Amino acid sequence: MIVLVDTLCSVAFYCQRCGQIEIADVPVFSGHGDVVLTCSHCGAEKARLRLVPRKGLVIETGCVVCGQRNRVHYPLRQLRTMTLEKIYCEKDHFELGYIGKWQALAEFLDFNAAEYDALHPHDAYNFMEHQQILLEAFNRVHDLAEEGELFCPCGGHEFTADIAEDAIHLECTRCGSSAVIPAKTPDDLKQLQPGCEVAFLRPDLIRNR
């Protein structure tokens, strides 16, 4: 019997816009163009994949933490035997997604959800929802800043932002004041609207705490 292989592997990426994660098959490439994976939830581009001679499968993704394009590649030989691997941003090690066999990815995502629930029994949200809220919060903060809706008491409106475990850290580029914006629950997300109050702390006060 001849089995026609029509998928190279499967991938699951967190949408860097809304945080949604879903598994997608990577088809065996028939042409030269890129395969573009988009988020079924918000339509944002999640990843671009292409086959490059001698390199194998090249995957390009964005990363909200460093704001840069991230590129990883997997030799075809490795893809055939691979069960599951995590894909990280090479600059900041932010977890971007997973690659491997569909079944393994599905089990891993289920397991992750169950494991998160076990570790956080009082938390109504699992790891995926957690990552999703974090990413969405980060993008909302970014949008608010861009629309001029976020202000530091010094009058500054340019910030550097960092993703922490369940919060977004902002720092005013003008005076160095910083703010911690919780990004853990859907309620935290609802707070992030034009005109929302963000409590900035001056650097000298932070040091004295």
Q: Which residue from 36, 76, 114, 154 is in contact with Zn ion, where contact means CB under 5 A?
A: 154
175 binds Zn ion (CB under 5 A): yes
- Is the CB of 17 or the CB of 140 nearer to Zn ion? 17
Retrieve residue 176's tokens: 């160095």
- Is the CB of 136 or the CB of 188 nearer to Zn ion? 136
3-state helix, strand, coil in the chain (%, to 5): 25, 35, 40
- Is the CB of 80 or the CB of 93 nearer to Zn ion? 93
Minimum CB separation of residue 123 from Zn ion in Å reads: 23
Identity at 91, one-letter amino acid code: K
201 binds Zn ion (CB under 5 A): no
137 binds Zn ion (CB under 5 A): no
Three state DSSP letters for 76-118 = HHHHHHCCEEEEECCCCCCEEEEEECHHHHHHHHHHHHHHHHH
**Rg for the chain, CA atoms, rounded:** 20
Binding footprint of Zn ion on the chain (CB under 5 A):
15, 17-18, 20, 39, 41-42, 44, 63, 65-66, 89, 91-92, 94, 152, 154, 156, 172, 174-175, 177
